[in-house]
Amino acid sequence: MKPNHEMSRRSFLQKSALLASGAAGLPRFAAAAAPALSLEVIGKVCPRPAVKIAASPLGVGFETLDRKMFDPERVYPHMAELGAKWARMQTGWCRCEPAKGRYDFAWLDAIVDRLRGMGIQPWFNLGYGNRLYTPEATNDFAVGWVPLWSDDALQGWLRFVQALSTHFRDRVKHWEIWNEPNHKNFWKPREPDPAEYVKFVRLTAPVIRSAVPGAVIIGPTVWGPAYFKECFERGLGALVDKVSYHWYRSSPEDKYEASVAACREVLAQHNLKLPLWQGESGCPSQPGSVGALAKQEWNEDRQARWVVRRTLADLKLRVELSSYFHAVDMLYPNDDGTPDGRLNSKGLVRRSDYARKPSYFAYQCLCALFDAETQWADLPFELSAVEDRHAVLKASFLRNGKPLFAYWLPSGLMEDRPLQAVSLTIPDARIKTPVLINPLTATVHRLPRAVRDGGKWQIEQAPLADYPLLVADKVSLKISA
């Protein structure tokens, strides 16, 4: 049955934000034509800086500083308050070894120490090339040029890895070897070959392990079924401790559950029980961006919804780490290092003025709610009065013993669908006062049509959006007025 009530999603967000900021004259958020969806705002989820969070599966990219694509000093305050506990960093061989045998880790020291001081744990992506050893590289940063094709380059690489891992042995335990070796732009000058990648890891990993006590080796940083499968057929599982992959789709859930299942099936075929790390995935916030997903008409609102969907999709599938790419927009350099004007607008923070985007606040809300105190749980709950309830995605969790439910419609983000009114049925165990959380605005809303009925909560006229909304017990939340 098609719902009788719809409301503007933009109205929902705008009025939620106004109420949360204390605007007068707006006692409820709702479009005038849809009073059934009016929900009073009773506060906001309190953000939590990383230093106040003990552990979390959520991280963010703090990458491309080997190419100086943003100013880290202007991003540190945002990183400290975001609540993400992990930061993926590229090590940049070309910047670390400016002359053969002379290493300069000062720039990397500064970043690692600042992040650790904020309660954020860096993890290294080890790469790329160095023109000192691959003079044929077409840019000063030797992006994607693999030091595997000459003995001079290979020995230079292994010496660099030894020096780097020894230098950071007490500060960085997680080391990912290379980036997207299945992509022709990152496996130069030859065509991508899983056998060559596994050989590269086999040569590199022991150097790290010899220098770093308890080192955690990560790979293969790809998602391409055939390439992924062959990596493990050739023995990658014996070399790594975590399995990383990247996943770029304009709809984050597109074929995602089946693909993660296929990944786990490959591991099972080799009797491997290795955790999955979604190490890089993001979307632009404006048209004309460069990089993945650049061809669609993105804006900051659509990016924020994408971020919430991406994160909940990972949490739903119990991925051990979910990293959003990227902390800040990146301005690409020319071959000589000067900015060339191309902007990758996937950041949570704008590159133009280093101001926070809506996606920052959405991810900040999720970081506050989905730290290690929140665990996936198989809790039943149902939706009705929705056109196609089988199309709705659901996920359930326990936060400090209290249930937390997420539900959303994974429709195309370019469609800007209106909200629908639905009915929810959730178990009432340990729930005293159910409330609705809108992660885009961090607002917490009263559910006046929530009634206990036979051991369950029946919630009428709840909104259904194209991004996850959350139902939780009010007493389990830290809420600001």
Interacting residues of 279 by C-beta distance below 8 A, sequence separation 6+:
88, 125, 176, 218, 221, 244, 245, 246, 321, 323
| Pair (388, 433) in one structural domain | yes
Q: Which range (208-212, 240-244, 313-317, 477-481) has the least confidence?
A: 477-481
Task: Identify the residue with better confidence: 20 or 176.
Answer: 176
The model's confidence at residue 9, banded by pLDDT at 50, 70 and 90, is: low
- Domain stop point among 370, 385, 413: 370
Same domain flag for 205 and 343: yes
Q: Which two tokens mark 400?
A: 């400090």
Residues whose CB falls within 8 Å of the CB of residue 33, separated by 6 or more in sequence, listed in order: 7
Q: Which two structure tokens, joined as six digits, stand for 100?
A: 């053969």
Confidence of residue 27 (pLDDT cuts 50, 70, 90): very low
Percent of the chain exceeding pLDDT 90 equals: 84
Q: Is residue 441 scored above 70 in pLDDT?
A: yes
156 shares a domain with 206 = yes
* Residue 187 and residue 331 in one domain: yes
Q: Kindly report which listed range (240-254, 383-397, 463-477) carries the lowest average pLDDT score.
A: 383-397
Q: What is the mean pLDDT of the chain?
A: 91
CATH code of the domain containing 366: 3.20.20.80
Q: Is the distance from CB of 13 to CB of 30 less than 8 angstroms?
A: no
Q: What is the mean pLDDT of residues 279-298?
A: 96
Strand partners, 445: 41, 436
**Residue 263 near residue 243, CB atoms below 8 Å:** yes
Asked if residue 64 and residue 44 are part of one domain, the reply reads no
Residue 300 lies in a domain: yes
Tokens of 229: 């499968």
Q: Tell me the whole-structure pTM to 2 decimals.
A: 0.92
Shared-domain flag, residues 174 and 322: yes
- pLDDT for residue 142: 95
314-353: per-residue pLDDT in tens? 999 999 999 999 999 999 887 676 778 899 999 999 999 9
What pLDDT shows up at residue 70? 96
Mean pLDDT of 439-453: 95
* Residue 17 counted as domain residue: yes
Mark which of 353, 370, 387 sits at the end of a domain.
370
Contact 392, 386 (CB under 8 A): yes
Amino acid at 251: S
The domain that holds 417 is classified in CATH as 2.60.40
Torsion of CA 236, 238, 241, 247, to 10 degrees: 20
pLDDT of residue 22: 39
For residue 300, give both structure tokens.
Answer: 């900051």
163 and 64: one domain? yes
Q: Quick one: 425 and 361 in the same domain?
A: no
pLDDT score recorded for residue 35: 29
Residues 345 and 424 in one domain: no
- 15 pLDDT more than 70: no
Q: Is residue 92 one of the residues assigned to a domain?
A: yes
Which structural domain range is residue 405 located in?
Answer: 6-48+375-480
Question: In this structure, is residue 121 part of a structural domain?
Answer: yes
pLDDT surpasses 50 at 24: no
Look at the chain and report how many structural domains it folds into.
Answer: 2
List all residues 6 or more positions away from 55 whose beta carbon is below 8 Å from its beta carbon: 85, 371, 372
Residues 177 and 296 in one domain: yes
| DSSP character at residue 302 | H
Asked whether residue 1 is domain-assigned, the answer is: no
Of the pLDDT bands very low, low, confident and very high (cuts 50, 70, 90), residue 390 is confident
Amino acid identity of 336? Answer: D
Q: Could you report the per-residue pLDDT of 232-282, keeping only the tens digit for each?
A: 999 999 999 999 999 999 999 999 999 999 999 999 999 999 999 999 999
Q: Is the pLDDT of residue 8 over 60?
A: no
CA 188 – CA 185 distance, rounded (Å): 7
What are the structure tokens assigned to 380, written together? 């039943």
Strands (E) located in 334-449: 339-344, 374-376, 382-384, 393-399, 402-408, 419-427, 434-438, 443-446
Which pLDDT score is estimated for 16? 54
CA angle 393, 396, 401 (to 5 degrees): 170
Residue 25 burial by CB count (10 A; 0-12/13-18/19+): exposed, middle or buried? Answer: exposed
The per-residue pLDDT for range 152-183, each reduced to its tens digit, is: 999 999 999 999 999 999 999 999 999 999 99
The one-character DSSP state at 91 is: -
* 431 in a structural domain: yes
Average pLDDT over residues 422-435: 91
Residues 56 and 177 in one domain: yes
44 in the same domain as 55: no
Q: Is residue 434 part of a domain?
A: yes
Assigned domain for 54 exists: yes
Percent of the chain having pLDDT more than 70?
91
Among 354, 370, 386, the domain boundary falls at: 370
